[in-house]
A and B are shown apart, each in its own frame.
Chain A
Amino acid sequence: MAHQVGNIDFRRHLDRSFWSATLVMGVISAILMALVVIWPINDTLAAASDTAHTIDPIFKFMLFFAAPIFVYVNGYVIYFARRYKHRASEPADAVGIPLHGVTSLEIWWTVLPTVLMVVLGIWSAIGLFALYKPQPGALNLESIGHQWSFEFRYPGLKKSFYGNPYVPVDKPVTLNITSADVIHSFWVPQFRIKLDMVPGMVQQLHFTPEKIGVYPVICTEYCGVGHGDMQTTIHVVSQADYNAWLAGMQQKEQTAQAQGPNLAAGDPDKGKQIFAQKCSVCHNIAPFAQKKVGPGLQNIFDDPQHPKLVDGAAATPANVAHILQTGYSGDIGVMPNAQANGLSSGDIADLVAYLKSQSK
């Protein structure tokens, strides 16, 4: 027969020691909960849009209740481990109190968390519908994800551009997002919102920027080897600065270059640097078969086994310049075009010159 140390009547264990421990945990919880309430999230991560103000309070609400749950679970584990530790002086077969359950307690700790989840659910549902709601008079923009850059279309600009979008502060925006190839995602941490850029489908992000500044736009859905570098920045500016920027973009469109790159003026040393920065993720200067993602380019102009480029054109400097300009997308893979890669005409000329210098 086993010895019993401790009393069957469990209420004897709800003694001073137990309640003191519970009180201490309560005080620690209260301190943490107070810190959650007064913590200014915006000092750690700027809240630059109305959507941030929808989302941050829900996060705080959850953190507020997470604190006592965390403190009490850990606290009671530590307290019970110390108080009820089996001492070497006790019989080896000592057992604890034969308590199989306390129905009223079990009801409470089922009902209270359910109530908490219902409250959280209702608040989150309100937030969910608010985030999906288009705002009247919104500036309608488009962003198309590519491997590995963001393309933007604006009303008032005939052509799209790759790079940094500008938006005027305090004006609602509807950003229509999709993808030209694989799934990407459009996340601005300071706006607290992201949605996936899905090929074949358009999703809408609705937000009103509230704080002038420059914020990162980050791709958050794995999209291939360039995923880690797929970022740009969104500029929230005053209405006047926005108008000036838009006018400047329209100006650039009108005076866009018609002629192609001047291959004779290409600088192979500059081309080498550009190659290292922009091409070496997928290509190397090596024989064709030594692929990284794309083929080795050492003998691109002079390889009897591979006289054509991937788009079927003969491997001449002019055609290489062309494919760098237009990019390539097909069954065997994707190469970003000049705009996505941020290559100017001069850059293309430099790259062609570099590739010529490497060809044996």
Chain B
Amino acid sequence: MTTDTIQILRPAGAPIHPAPESFVKKYVFSIDHKVIGIQYFITAGLMMLLSGLFAEAIRIQLLQPHNTFLTAQQFDEAFTFHGTLMVWFGAIPMITGGFGNFAMPLQIGARDVAFPWLNMFSFWTFPPAVLILLSSLAFGAPNAGWTEYPPVSLQAGVGIVFWTVAIFTVGIGATLTGLNFLTTIIKMRAPGMTFTRMPLFVWATGVTSFLSLVATTALASALGSLFLSHVFNIPFYDPARGGTVVLFQHMFWFYSHPAVYIMILPIFGVVSEIIPTFARKPIFGYKLIAYSSVSIGLLSFMVWAHHMFTSGLGPWVTLPFMILTMLIAVPTGVKIFSWVATLFGSRMRLTTPMLFTLGFLSTFTLGGITGVMLASVPVDWHEHATYFLVAHIHYVLFGGTVMGALGAIYYWWPKVTGRMMSETLGKWHFWLTFILFNTTFLPMHFVGLLGMPRRVAYYDPAFQGLNVFISISAFCLGVSFLLLIVNMFWSKRSGPVAGPNPWGARTLEWMIPSPPPYYNFREVPEVYAHPYSYGEPLPYSAPYNQVSTTPTY
């Protein structure tokens, strides 16, 4: 075999596409999962930074109990954009489209995903959706939060049309990506890679892809109903004309609860990769972690009404949702205990990705604990829609999703770029993030329990002290993100060359050059065992078992 004839060795599969040559085919309309992953990462990253600016505007307004920095209308638009951008234009595309696209095919020894053209199409639903959403700021912006409950969401006029069309558009890409990844994982694993030899990130991506595929269509009905209500005056949500207001909440949350698991399950997968790598020992309880991901995925479809405990469901409908919500805490807790047990007897290296992962263990656990508190309906009747809830969601979404995503960025950056990041800047970034995250969001629990509702531009002056403390923390937390940006630029310019496996990890992506060649694997690897047995030889066919697993940093 010469370098310019790549032959497929497995019986099933189409010939690999030839290397793209034009700028447009290489960087704009690429069908290479690695390029698409980077495109998702950059676009979603920019949207998360923009969302962070909206959040800082919120925190400036909340420095005073009746501030005039923003009008109430502008404030409402700010929290609406903050949530909307973070969920559908930030976390979901970065984690599924970004990390999933780049790492999953490499981890299963594939040359690309099952449907590369569809992958490219899926990405290109994302930038137009962003433009549609952001243009609403000029024509009439949505202002009823990322949940946009009718009837109030229909009072904003044309803003709701922009909002529903934008999310529907990006949702098409998300559904197709779910289909693409699920097919890839089921059909394109390297020979010998049975399900129980898959890396845990692949397990997590598989379950997440199932959720994306099945649940996103429910969101389409919720969005569609708002669109039809506004454009064609169909009274789905007008009780005077036969409508039922709570119906929207059922449709919306039937999707949006699985959506929060879409945002966290791949992160659980990343944590399950990072901990063994830097503890230098196998993940503790591999099977339990894999199966708990599946059970979380299935249970996630059965708990949606825990967002509706005060909405008017009555005790008998509420009860099963409460029980199932409490039960879904168990597989999540099991994972946390397994990760901590993996640290036992390790030879631990506290690199930046490992620090973010350990930080995740702390902050996500607290978020999970407050989640159980919200699961108890009597207690939820006090805590719902207050700053206690805002604290909970940020502990799981920032303390969980973002902390884990930051770990993933620092972990896979050498593979994507071929360069190392600065450990000094990385450690500063971690400690500032961890401390400032807690000082920003921990006080919100108290202010909520004492009587501050969410989504308010004005509050009782008794809460000003805590709000000022939170706001100042939040400003510093926002600024600390600059350390990551600086680190990225520094690394590209003068970071040390990474080599194929700087961390000494054992999953397949680390057995090929950094960055990988466009075809990923010259020959199809064979897999003989699961990847986490540090100290044993690598369980792959040559040449993939010849890369050193000694850390080189």
Give the B-binding residues of A (Cβ under 8 A). Answer: 2, 4-6, 10, 13, 44-45, 54-55, 58-59, 62-63, 66, 69-70, 73-74, 76-77, 80-81, 84-86, 90, 92-102, 105-106, 109-110, 113-114, 117, 120-121, 124-125, 127-129, 131-132, 181-183, 185, 187, 189, 192-196, 198-201, 203, 216, 218-229, 281, 292-293, 333-334
A6 vs B535: C-alpha distance when bound (angstroms): 12
Question: Which residue of A55, A97, A193 contacts B281 across the interface (Cβ within 8 Å)?
Answer: A97
Q: Tell whether, in the assembled complex, residue B457 and residue A228 are in contact, meaning their CB atoms are under 8 Å apart.
A: yes
Name the residue among A86, A90, A102, A114 with the largest chain B CB count within 10 angstroms: A86
Q: A193-B381, A225-B72 given; name 18 further pairs at CB < 8 Å.
A: A2-B534, A2-B549, A44-B450, A58-B378, A59-B379, A66-B369, A85-B350, A96-B281, A102-B341, A105-B341, A113-B333, A120-B326, A128-B322, A129-B315, A189-B451, A192-B382, A220-B453, A334-B155
Q: Does the CB pair B504–A80 fall under 8 Å?
A: no
Contact of B286 among A13, A77, A101, A219 (CB under 8 A): A101
Asked if B131 is an interface residue, CB under 8 A from chain A, the answer is no
Residue ID in chain B nearest A133 by CB atoms: B315
A115 to B377, CA, bound (A): 18
| Residues of B with C-beta under 8 A to A95 | 280-281, 347, 534-535
Q: Which residues of B contact A333 (CB under 8 A)?
A: 155
Residues of A within 8 A of B143 (CB): 225
**B459 beta carbon closer than 8 Å to chain A:** yes
B362:A45 contact, CB within 8 angstroms: no
Determine if B362 and A73 form an interchain contact, defined as CB atoms under 8 angstroms apart: yes
A62-B286 contact given A121-B323, A196-B311, A222-B149, CB 8 Å threshold: no
> Would A96 and B155 count as touching, CB distance under 8 A?
no
Please give, as numbers and ranges, the residues of chain B lying within 8 Å of A193 by CB-CB distance. 381-382
Q: Which residues of A contact B149 (CB under 8 A)?
A: 183, 221-222
Complex Cα distance, B345 from A101, in Å, reads 12
Interface contact A281-B72, CB-CB below 8 Å: yes
Interface size class of B (residues with CB under 8 A): 35 or more
Is the CB–CB distance between B455 and A227 below 8 Å?
yes
| Residue B393 at the chain A interface, CB threshold 8 Å | no
Chain B residues lying within 8 Å of A293, measured Cβ to Cβ, are 73
Which of chain A's residues have a CB closer than 8 A to the CB of B381?
55, 131, 192-195
Task: Contact check, B358 vs A81: say whether CB atoms are below 8 A apart.
Answer: yes
| B245 lies within 8 A of A200 (CB) | yes
Residues of A within 8 A of B366 (CB): 70
Report chain A residues within 8 Å CB of B386: 187, 220
Contact A181 B151 (CB under 8 A): yes
Please judge, given known A-B contacts A106-B285, A127-B377, whether A96 and B318 are in contact too, CB under 8 Å. no
Cβ distance A114 to chain B, nearest Cβ, rounded Å = 5
Query: Which residues on the A side are within 8 Å of B455 (C-beta)?
Result: 222, 227
List, in ascending order, chain A residues with CB within 8 A of B165's CB.
none
Question: How far, in whole Å, are A117 and B239 apart by their CA atoms in the complex?
Answer: 38
Residue B518 lies at the interface, judged by CB distance under 8 Å to chain A: no
CB atoms of A203 and B453 under 8 A apart: no
Q: Is the CB of B361 within 8 A of A45?
A: no
Residues in A neighbouring B288, C-beta threshold 8 A = 101, 106, 110
